[in-house]
Amino acid sequence: MLSHTEENYLKALLKLSFQNEEKPEAGTNEMAAYLGVKPATATDMLKKLKEKELVTYKKYGKILLTELGRAKGIAILRKHRLWETFLYEKLDFSWDEVHEVAEQLEHIQSPKLVNKLEEFLDFPEFDPHGDPIPRANGELPTVDKVLLTDVKAGESCQVVAVKDTSTVFLQYLEKLQVTIGTLVKVMEVVDFDGSMNIQIASSDPRNVSMKFAESLFVKKKTSVTV
């Protein structure tokens, strides 16, 4: 049985491993920063997780999840994203409110609960932010996605996920009526600052910053021209 704290370390390591795709290892300071603790604290915990064979750790070395540690991490991420979906779909939470509560709910221990919840939600593949929900067997649904910055002028695409899940960004998207599934057409890319003129659904085109375009994942639409 893992404590909330241990679980948070495992999930953090998993998330960090997703970030640096090629190199799924993390450093002590990186982990500490992610979790909001001091490096000394992370060192202690990493030693403990090593004892439990959940991470590989050597003094001054990089940290990696073991198979077991990864499985535990995936299980927590699965709960997190299922709960977010529940809050969003069933309890009418907005997509900027779900994360904080799911951060607590992900630690509830009950295999039956997780699986019944998944069934109740009709086996969703993605959470409200477009992130894949791990299956009971640990597999992650995939979807090919690129950043909006990779879409060229004239191309169309569909929003599939947000890269930045901060409240301020999510609320801005809401104001712009951008949500998962929204169609976006890139009208023009401004060389000067990387900003874009985009048409959201069928509204009037508007300019968005490069920072914006770097925070949104989309799927390119094969243009419907002959």
Partner DNA sequence: TATAAAAGTTAGACTAGTCTAACAAATATA
Partner DNA sequence: TATATTTGTTAGACTAGTCTAACTTTTATA
Residues found near its own copies in the complex (CB under 8 A) = 87, 90-93, 97, 100-101, 104-105, 108-110, 112-113, 116-117, 120
Query: How many residues does the structure list for the chain?
Result: 226
- Alpha carbon distance 198, 209 (integer Å): 10
Instruction: Supply angle C-alpha 171, 142, 78, rounded to 5.
Output: 70
* Residue 43: contacted member of Mn ion, DNA, its own copies, none (CB under 5 to 8 Å, by partner type): DNA
Of 73 and 157, CB closest to Mn ion: 73
Separation CA 69–CA 56 (nearest Å): 9
Residue 107, SS3 per DSSP? coil
Minimum Å gap between C-beta 119 and its own copies is 8
| Binding of residue 168 to DNA (CB under 7 A) | no
Q: Which is nearer to its own copies, 102 or 213 (CB)?
A: 102
Looking at beta carbons only, is 104 or 171 nearer to DNA?
Answer: 104
In the list Mn ion, DNA, its own copies, none, the entry touching 100 (Cβ below 5 to 8 angstroms by class) is its own copies
**Closer CB to Mn ion, residue 15 or residue 116?**
15
Kindly compute the dihedral angle of the four CA atoms of residues 18, 3, 41, 49, in this order, to the nearest 10 degrees.
Answer: -70
Q: Which amino acid is at 195?
A: S
User: Looking at beta carbons only, is 94 or 109 nearer to DNA?
Assistant: 109
Span from 42-50, 102-110, 149-157, 166-174 in contact with DNA (CB under 7 A)? 42-50
What is the footprint of DNA within residues 83-122 (CB under 7 A)?
none
Contacts with 73 (C-beta within 8 Å, 6 or more apart), sequence order: 10, 11, 13, 14, 65
Question: What type of residue is 186?
Answer: V
Backbone angles phi, psi at 82, to 5 degrees: -65, -45
- By the criterion CB under 7 A, which residues form the site for DNA? 3-6, 27-30, 36-48, 57, 59-62
